[in-house]
């Protein structure tokens, strides 16, 4: 597996989570 593929999948999943808890996850995303 390439790190880029894992990173992309993680971002897509994380994006889905952000749609649900955008206000809460916003600061966490900036921290990342």
pLDDT digits (tens, 9 = 90+) for 1-32: 577 887 787 777 766 665 555 566 566 656 55
Structural domain count of the chain: 1
**Torsion, Cα of 25, 7, 9, 3 (10° steps):** -160
The answer to whether 25 and 17 have CB atoms below 8 angstroms apart is yes
Q: What is the pTM of this model?
A: 0.31
6: closest CA among 16, 14, 31?
14
Domain span at residue 1 reads 1-31
The reported pLDDT for the residue numbered 16 is: 64
Q: How far apart are the first and last CA of the chain?
A: 22
């Amino acid at each position: 597996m390439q790190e880029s593929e894992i990173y992309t999948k993680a971002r897509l999943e994380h994006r889905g989570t952000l749609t649900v808890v955008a206000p809460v996850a916003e600061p966490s995303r900036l921290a990342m």
